[in-house]
A = this chain, B = another copy of it.
C-alpha cells in the first residue's frame, strides 16, 4: 500500500468506495496470531478491505502461513501498547501500532481502526491522535448488549468515569447515530440508566440529565426519550439506546458478562450432576451451543469509540480470530454508513444556544 492515492482522491469519491479498516495487529491477549487470522477471515469471508499495522516481518510470516501475503497490505510500526498501559501510553508511544493506524486515518489512507489493545490505551491514543469531532464534548464508548436481533446500544461503557449532564445528553445523540448507522433504527428509543422507574430517581448526575433529555426530546424528531431504565431492563429490549456515565456503564456491562458466564457455568454443572441429567445433556448439546454463541461477546464485535474524526472499534482484549473479524465488520458498517456525518448532524442541529447556556450555568467542566 503506497498510501497517497486514496488521500489525494476527492472526498466524495472516497466515500463511495468501500472503507479501509486499519487493524492493530499487536493489540490484545492473542496478538498477533489471532489478529492476523481474524483479518484474513474478514477479507476472505466478508470481503472487507483491511490493512494490518504492526511489526512487518512478524505479520508477514503469519500472513504467509495463511497464504494471504498478497491479500492484505502491512504498514510497519515498531512499537505497541502493552495490555496494562492506560492513558499515558498515548503520549509515551507515538510509534505504537495503534498510533500509526490513527496516522493512516488522519492522512486519509484508512477510514477506521480496529484494536484489541487495552481499552484505556486505545481510547487515549485515538482521542489524542484523531481528535474529537467539532462540537463533541467527549468521545464515548458504545457497546451492544446481546438482547436479540436488534441489539440495544449502551453509551458510555467506560471512556468517561466522571461525566457531566451535558455530556450524557451528547452520549444519547452518539448512541442514536450508532443505532441508526449500524442497525438501521430510524427513530431510536432512548432510556437513562438509573435506580428507579419513577422520574426524579437517581443521583444528581442522572436527575439533571433527565431534565436535559426531556427538553432535548421536545423539539426533536430524531430522538424518542423514554425516561428511566433500571439494571434489570438492560437485556429487556425496552429501548434502543441506554445512556449512562462511563463508571456505571462499565460496571453494568461487565456485570452482564460475568452473570451470563456464571449462569452458563451453573447450567452446565446442573446438567451433568446426575446420570439422567447427563443423558439429557447429550441430547441438548447443540441447543446450548447456539445459546452460548448468542451470549458470547465475540459475536458483537466490540465497543465503538464515537465522536472522533474517524471510526474506532475496540475489540475484547481476549478476542480470537472470529471476534476480530466481527469487529472489522462493525468498523466497516460504521464507516460505510458515515457515522461521523450522522454524529455531526445530530450534534449540530441541536439548538446550540440552550445546551451551552446550560453547560455554562453549571460552571466550567474540567478537562474540556
Contact = CB atoms under 8 A, between A and B. Distances in A.
Chain copies in the assembled complex: 2
Interface in A244-273: 244-248, 250-264, 266-267, 269-271, 273
Contacts of A248: 247-248, 251
Interface of A: 84, 86, 120, 158, 161-162, 193-196, 198, 201-204, 206, 230-236, 244-248, 250-264, 266-267, 269-271, 273-274, 276-277, 279-284, 286-288, 290-291, 294-295
Contact of A255 (B194, B196, B201, B259): B259
A288 B273 CA distance: 10
A195 B270 contact: no
Contacts of A277: 283-284, 286-287
Contact of A251 (B158, B251, B261, B263): B251
B158 A195 contact: yes
A269 to B, nearest CB: 8
Contacts of A283: 276-277, 279-280, 283
A255 B254 CA distance: 10
B270 A284 contact: yes
Interface centre among A195, A253, A269, A274 (most CB of B within 10 A): A195
Nearest to A266: B291
Contacts of A198: 84, 86
Given A254-B232, A284-B271, A202 B266 contact: no
13 contacts: A203-B245, A206-B247, A231-B250, A232-B257, A234-B259, A236-B262, A248-B248, A252-B255, A266-B294, A271-B288, A276-B286, A277-B286, A280-B280
